[in-house]
Amino acid sequence: MKLFKRADPPEETQPTAKTSPDNTNDTGLGTFGGVYTPSILTILGVIMYLRFGWVVGNVGLLGTLLIVTLSTSITFLTSLSVSAIATDRIVRGGGAYYMISRSLGIETGGAVGIPLYFAQALSVALYTIGFAESIIDAFGSFNQLYVALITTIAVAVLALTSAEIAIKAQYLIMGAIVLSLISFAFGQPLEATTIEIWADSGQSSEPFWTVFAVFFPAVTGIMAGVSMSGDLREPSRSIPTGTLAAVGTGYVIYMILPIVMAMRADASTLIENPLIMKEMAFWGPAILFGVWGATLSSAIGSILGAPRVLQALARDGVLPGRLSVLGNGSGPNDEPRIGTAVTLGIATATVCIGDLNIIAPVLTMFFLTTYLVLNVSAGIEGFLQSPSFRPTFKVHWSLSMLGALGCLAVMFLINAVATVIAAVIVLAIFIWLQRRELETTWGDARRGIWMALVREGIFQIGEEDTKNWRPHILVLSGIPKKRWPLIQFADDLTHNRGMITVCSVLPSSSRDVSQQSDMQDTIREYLEKRGVQVLVRVVTATDFFDGAKLLVETYGIGPLTPNTVVLGDSQEPSRSDRYCQLVAHIHKAKKNVVILRENSERGFGQYRRIDVWWGGLQNNGGLMLLLAYLLRTDMDWRNAEVHLKLVVPEESAAQATQANVDSVIQNLRIGASSQVLVSQGRPFYDILHESSQDADLIFLGIRTPGENFTEYYQDLQSKTVGLPSTVFVLAAPGFSYGEVLSDR
């Protein structure tokens, strides 16, 4: 799997010539020109001119004011979240993508940023086609396609020349919109009418939420200013001020207009005439200027924002390496001219293709998805109370989460099918980015999320109980390459049900303590390449046994400590005493001891047969049966048969013992078969060798450490020479593993 990394230093730690360390840009745009202007011009768009009368006519004055308030509330909450993020960290080019990627990670940022770019790029075509349609309606003698193409190229030339020039062009457009609103304010009623507070259900042709869905895009223009983040003089100051001011201005205008409309025409007139504002205005052509200004300003906002998102995606390595040229900037303001040219190509092709009605709902979903994720980002950061999250504009996390829920609700109200399509696309991009294993040099909130969950989980775990027992294994393997079967065996036992920690003890004289972290990273990378998900712990001690005792005593946090220690069998007589003392120490610490004695020639054989030499559910017997059951849940051992073997001294006891064992197996539902063997005076180990010679793995219980335990263990080793791979099991005292099985 290929690994992608950025070749250049992270922007967060290396201020460019353009941007100083205090997050200011001496040559950048100000709050009014860089944030407020593009935002308010996108908010006061074509819906205000062509659909506002229709909204009032369908739901009445009170319904319209309610729709405006609900819609603006969602945008306002999102603006608060954007303001919190913008005042917490340096905000550079890429706007919403930059904020999300630095908060929830590059995969989430990319999954939202790529669709957001295409939505903005296609929106250029959407707005220029709308402009062309209005020209044709007014004059009627032009070709719509040619007008749309010329308009698309014109706004792109503005953006290519300079973002600052494009912003100045928007001042003229703002003037046209202001003129249209003044002309409308001094207009005259069309007919004598009474204000309809709430639309008559008999006259209303559309339900409330359908009308809400039509109006809502009118208040979703805040991203136009956020997308200019890389060109702002002080983004952490301009984004909150400009965005909130634009939302407030839009709300005031949208609350006044329906009152005026309701006073000047009745419901049927408002519904039937899309350009009703032109009929009411003091000077009708001013409304046309406003419509043209609204479409052009939205197109300019999109052609300015989309290339900057593309530039940020390329610079972070989200896009494939061959597209890295899209991250280049031009001129002293680092303008994305290559990205603008690419965006122009996409918009031009879309204009030539024609109708965007089919994909328009999906584009709206991408914008709302961006809002939703921005709210989630701010909400999570605020909820976790990470020390690194210190915004100067403070917002309670509940407000951000409320904004996220509002966005989600509106998405389904507007178009449930388009919502699902957008979600599938975002999820597909997220999975693709995860599989590319992108590495970032900045931190994000994901670690904080897991830390909060782990903290809460540790306090909730409590003491270990039979109902929820899981194997948490400490593997004293040393260097994994040399003792790989130990790690493989532990991994087969847990099968993602518990945790494994692979431990290595380094002699104090061989390595400095400061190098332990590097050693842990090396071991972890090796195990990840082998497909084993484990924790790694390296300690320094005078010898292996002292280090192992230290790990057994101290490793873990609260109740989340290993309950089972996996060891390799010691073959050196000179170390037998220390080894057996370690086993006794682990047992006194109330942890299970599992010793794997591998047959180096046969390994685990064919993974088909497991022999458990059993003495009942108590003590070692319950644990051995439980381990055999867990082993069979692994893919390698899924076809293995568990043979439960017992030895009785005489034939007379065999039948009753067989019946008892079969009853236990049936009650435990573990799918094992039993075999009762009669010793007839033969030594146990002779029976063991004869009966289990063809097994792939053998489980044997060992006695509790006490006097002469070293001699006992040495005798056990000598009497099991030549057997298949064998596991010696010593259950922790005071815990009933039989109840673990019976609780299943």
* pLDDT tens-digit readout, 184-199: 999 988 876 767 777 6
For 308, residues 6+ apart whose C-beta sits below 8 A from its C-beta are 93, 94, 95, 227, 228, 229, 230, 231, 336, 339
Confidence label for 16 from pLDDT (cuts 50, 70 and 90): very low
Confidence label for 694 from pLDDT (cuts 50, 70 and 90): very high
Choose the weakest-confidence range: 238-247, 427-436, 636-645, 650-659. Answer: 427-436
Read off the DSSP letter of residue 72: H
CATH architecture entry for 31-445: Up-down Bundle (1.20)
Give backbone dihedrals phi and psi of 29, rounded to 5 degrees, phi first: -85, 155
| Mean pLDDT over each residue of the chain, to the nearest integer | 82
Compute the Cα dihedral for 269, 274, 278, 281 and give only its sign: positive
Which residue(s) pair with 678 in the sheet? 648
Cα distance between residue 650 and residue 680, in whole Å: 6
The first and second tokens of residue 483, run together, are 């003792």
Cα distance between residue 196 and residue 60, in whole Å: 6
CB 74 within 8 A of CB 403: yes
Q: Give me the residue spans of the domains in the chain.
A: 31-445, 473-742
Give the angle 111-116-122 at the CA atoms, nearest 5°: 135
CA-based radius of gyration for the chain: 36
Cα distance between residue 258 and residue 55, in whole Å: 9
Quick: pLDDT tens for 246-305. Answer: 999 999 999 999 999 999 998 888 888 878 898 899 998 999 999 888 888 888 878 888
DSSP code per residue over 390-441: --SS---HHHHHHHHHHHHHHHHHH-HHHHHHHHHHHHHHHHHHHHTT---S
pLDDT of residue 158: 81
Output the CA–CA distances (angstroms, integers) from residue 402 to 375, 378, 396, 607, in the order listed: 8, 11, 10, 54
**Domain 31-445 shares a fold with domain 473-742:** no
Q: Minimal CA–CA distance to 606: which of 636, 562, 576?
A: 636
pLDDT of residue 699: 96
Claim: this prediction has a pTM higher than 0.85: no
Assigned CATH for 473-742: 3.40.50.12370
**CA 560 from centroid of its chain's CA atoms:** 26
Confidence label for 20 from pLDDT (cuts 50, 70 and 90): very low
Please name the helix (run of DSSP H) or strand (run of DSSP E) that holds residue 727, with its range, or none: strand 726-730
CB neighbourhood size of 566 (10 A)? 26
Q: Minimal CA–CA distance to 313: which of 103, 162, 123, 96?
A: 96
Q: Minimal CA–CA distance to 72: which of 39, 38, 109?
A: 39
Which of helix, strand or coil describes residue 527?
helix
